[in-house]
Structure 1
Amino acid sequence: MTTVTFSTPDAEMVADFFNDFEEAYQASEHLLLQLEKDPKNGALLNDLFRRVHTIKGNLIYVGLADICPILQSVEDVLEPLRRGRLRYDDLLSDVILLAMDTTHELVENRLQQEPNPFSAEHMQFICEKISLIANCESSQRASIIGQAIKALDPAAELAAPDSEFSKHGVAMNNDLRFFAQLLPAIDQRSPYWAGRTQRIAELALSMNSAASAPIDPNQLLAAVYMHDFAMAFLPLELLHKPEKYTSQERLRVQAHVQTSGALMREMGNWADAAEIILQHHEQCNGAGYPNNLAEQDICEGAKVLAIADAFDACVNSRAHVDQPQRPLIRAILEINRYAGSQFSQAWVNIFNQIARPKRNQSR
């Protein structure tokens, strides 16, 4: 396998460029999210194209031309979008978002004089798949986009077997083993739930460990295991409903936090887990349910579970329509987008420490 070799541009020049690049990169992310709400907005598309083109030109100027092919492939997709020959949607947004994030990583690696994480062959494969999106038959587009996303972000899960939870301070006991034994049946209730509880548990416990374990890990794990237990008793046609819920249906779904929490209280010894379950859909701005609690009134475990649950839902949000998983960078941005409003800013900061390294390791 051939490895891409980098030239060594002037370090000071690259550092100056990187400051400008960071600003353009953040602006591009913002534009992509705006376009999802207004996909036919020509001004937004033109602005995004200009920023990508400027970044590419600056890369050449500072001696980083070998990073440019990935941005050229993005331009190959943006051009027909601007001309109205290609329809913008969230799948395309994911590809462009991942390509920009990969460019960001490559620039950071160069600035820190670290090796390129991609082989020449893999970089070429990525660029070819992205460019092909613009010219392929519409019937092939979803498949090619899926291949491009997989090439850019080959792993999209944060998972660990139950036996590894001891590293987070979990001391397995009979109750936790009982909850764990219920998981296969719960996860099999819907084909879209497979493996989700273990993924959420690993992320929530990792966040707790990174914060020096302010939450009892046993209570946190129990809450993760049982937080959606009552959801499994709802009709599948309601769980899988693609349209918005009616007000009555929404109340039925929201009642799962009280039912699951009450079951935990009945067992004894799990009062903290019950509180986490009851509050994990509360929001720091007071807009959550069931009690519209403000941030200072929400327990720390619920704040962690809210982030982990939402992150996994974002990554796997396309399961019910048989489309590729959302890339990690997309889910990470969505969590950060609601920091300080839906989610605790302090815990989002901890989440970033866990999720972003995981994304880089997946490559």
Structure 2
Amino acid sequence: MKLVRLIGFLFVFFVMPPLGYLTAATVWTHLGDQVELRDTRDAYRVAVATSCERQDPITLTGGFKAWYICDADVTVQRDGTSRRLKTRGFLTPELIGVPVAVSHTNTAGTRLVAEHPRYPNLAGLALIGTVIGWILLMAAMLWVLSRKHMPKLSSSPEEITAHVRKEFPDEEKPRDEVYVRGRRKWLKGSWIFGLLVLCVLGAIVYSGDAFEGDTTQTVLAVASWATPVLLFLNALRKLFFWPAVTFTAEGVEWMSEKPTWAEIEQIGLSEKHVLTVHRVGRAPEKVGRFGPGQAEEIRRAIRKYGQASKMEQMSAKTA
């Protein structure tokens, strides 16, 4: 069961994000690249495709959908000036030789888009819905994987006992312990969800224009990619580098160390919430630095287990 949950967590963290990005990019490409053909006699700028090159699917720009880069003759009809540019996505081999009204999205005039997309609003709404739905799906999967599936309060005593014995076959009851981990969480709250949604949308919309002469598009694309990467690295830091300690009636556990209360001469926290354990006849051992909330949990655990253990030792010596 633990192996299945581990595989599930790895799937959610390492497979679901790229799958979600490619799915959202597919939705954006499919709906956003369809052109509505209109009379171009009054259009300011007109593009006529001369040749198209197919781009294979599973790319950052097109997602799971194949798309095209086309050479097009772009004419400004007001003065008749013309130049050849490359277009992405909205022109296809079926439109070679067909005049299409276009506009540009950068100051250099090299990034062209269709003047009249077939679904001008639906593409953006579908993209937002896909991103939000995918993130909610990931959250639901994490909730299922991390759920402890304890019996309901309405269960009978016999059902609760049977469940406990099933979950803890080697013990009469669950182990009495206090597990403390981590530091103060600066990155928390519902705003992170909104930030991730904006980053995914920005990555899909601006990635195709990055590093092509438009500084604004490039900065937005880099920021859209960098923010979720930094959040992911912060999650890995918490997973692998944050301190953790477990207090039980028998002793204290961290990393591979498991000293009993009889072996511990002194245990305490500094003003900066650094937990240090002094064992009899050994140098002080630093467990790690915790946050203020975790430090209070540690103090309560020391009072609960440490003082009770010392009282038991004194009682045993007196007897």
TM-score by shorter chain over 0.5: no
Q: Structure 1 or 2: larger helix share?
A: 1
Q: Structure 1 or 2: larger strand share?
A: 2
Largest Rg, 1 or 2: 2
